[in-house]
Amino acid sequence: MNNTNVNPENVVCKYCQSPHLVVVPAYNEVHHSKLVCKSCGKLQRWLPKPSTVESAKRTLETISLLKRKTLPPKEQAFIESLSDWIRFKRPTPKQTAWLERIAAREGVTV
């Protein structure tokens, strides 16, 4: 996010309906930045790192491609459970490593 003075989604403040929302860097590990109301100063929501959004998209694509393959039952169960998991949480390094191993063997690249 280069421009910190934009209203990225054309939304208004949840609290005061002001259209003057700004993206402010968050300086923490989890979030990239936050969307804050310039008028009342209240936090609207946290914004993820662009790289996090990208990698989540790739994981989803990899999973959907692997779901079309015939995999050993253990791996198939893993793909199924991971597909539920990532709706709420980021995959763990262990899950990512396993997913990448299966994807590489199956010739799935995204």
Q: How far is the CB of 31 from Zn ion (least distance, A)?
A: 20
Query: Which listed range, 29-37, 48-56, 71-79, 86-94, lies at the site for Zn ion (CB under 5 A)?
Result: 29-37
Among 39, 52, 55, 76, binds Zn ion (CB under 5 A): 39
Q: How far is the CB of 46 from Zn ion (least distance, A)?
A: 16
| By the rule CB under 5 A, 16 interacts with Zn ion | yes
Neighbours of 3 (CB within 10 A): 8
- Tokens at 19, concatenated: 């259209």
Q: By the 8 A CB rule, do 37 and 78 touch?
A: no
| By the rule CB under 5 A, 46 interacts with Zn ion | no
The size of the interface with Zn ion (CB under 5 A), counted in residues, is 7
Q: Report CA-CA distances (Å) from 84 to 2, 76, 77, 89, 94.
A: 33, 13, 11, 9, 16
Output the CA angle 47-94-100, nearest 5 degrees: 85
Q: How far is the CB of 13 from Zn ion (least distance, A)?
A: 3
| Residues found near Zn ion in the complex (CB under 5 A) | 13, 15-16, 18, 37, 39-40
